[in-house]
Chains A and B, each alone.
Chain A
Amino acid sequence: KQEVTQIPAALSVPEGENLVLNCSFTDSAIYNLQWFRQDPGKGLTSLLLIQSSQREQTSGRLNASLDKSSGRSTLYIAASQPGDSATYLCAPTYSGAGSYQLTFGKGTKLSVIP
């Protein structure tokens, strides 16, 4: 059974700082991995999808890395802004029986202080 752990559970940083969010998963046989952000009371917004054959993926100030063998992914946010404040969720996809279900961690709640 796949389990996902995200560390830290909460993080508060001053605006402009670079930061790293960590995600670990127990089963390295993942198909791909998505990072999402969730704003209070809202749905999930997909940030990046990184395929199992990739080592990293970039979108703007975001960079996600993946190390399948060690069961780890990191999300790097450069030059953080108050608008980055949200809960960040890591979700590997495990493909079994033709299904591509996401397995979620509890997330990291990020607060960027102006």
Chain B
Amino acid sequence: EAGVTQFPSHSVIEKGQTVTLRCDPISGHDNLYWYRRVMGKEIKFLLHFVKESKQDESGMPNNRFLAERTGGTYSTLKVQPAELEDSGVYFCASSQDPHRGEEETQYFGPGTRLLVL
């Protein structure tokens, strides 16, 4: 079974440009999460989708970040315009069902390393 995949693995852009990150969750996982680690800090929650609906976007830093999950499958996270402080590693995770034992496990992708110059 394929795990969570993310694209691209690395992205280097200039301040003011736009970048779109993509996440493909494990097939059948309704729950999709985005997290971010900026340099030297802990991994922080950004938002949570249940199917195509945003369940919780309390961790989104500002309105330059837009996440979508059309059709309830893959998700995109767009940063527009990018700022220097957006540099970091963006992780996506998915889980099957947050109410059912082992199905609560969140599985992480390899991350996208974003560098804003």
Contacts and interface: CB of A to CB of B under 8 A. Distances in A.
A35 to B, nearest CB: 11
Interface in A16-56: 31-32, 34, 36, 42-46, 49, 51
B42 interface: yes
Interface of A: 4, 31-32, 34, 36, 42-46, 49, 51, 89, 91, 93, 95-106
B108 A36 contact: yes
A102 to B, nearest CB: 6
Interface of B: 4, 31, 33, 35, 42-45, 48, 50, 55-56, 58-59, 91, 93, 95, 98, 101-102, 104-111
A79 B106 CA distance: 27
Contacts of B93: 44, 102
Given A43-B109, A44-B91, A98-B55, A104 B43 contact: yes
A98 B56 contact: yes
Contacts of B107: 46
A45 B110 CA distance: 9
Contacts of B109: 43
A31 B97 CA distance: 13
A100 B111 contact: no
Nearest to A6: B42
A48 to B, nearest CB: 9
16 contacts: A31-B98, A34-B105, A46-B105, A46-B108, A93-B98, A95-B98, A97-B55, A97-B58, A98-B56, A99-B55, A99-B58, A100-B31, A101-B45, A101-B56, A102-B33, A104-B42
Contacts of B98: 31, 93, 95, 100
B45 A103 contact: yes
B7 to A, nearest CB: 13
B43 A43 contact: no
Nearest to A3: B42
Given A46-B106, A103-B45, 11 more contacts: A44-B91, A44-B93, A45-B108, A51-B104, A97-B55, A97-B58, A98-B56, A100-B31, A100-B48, A100-B98, A104-B43
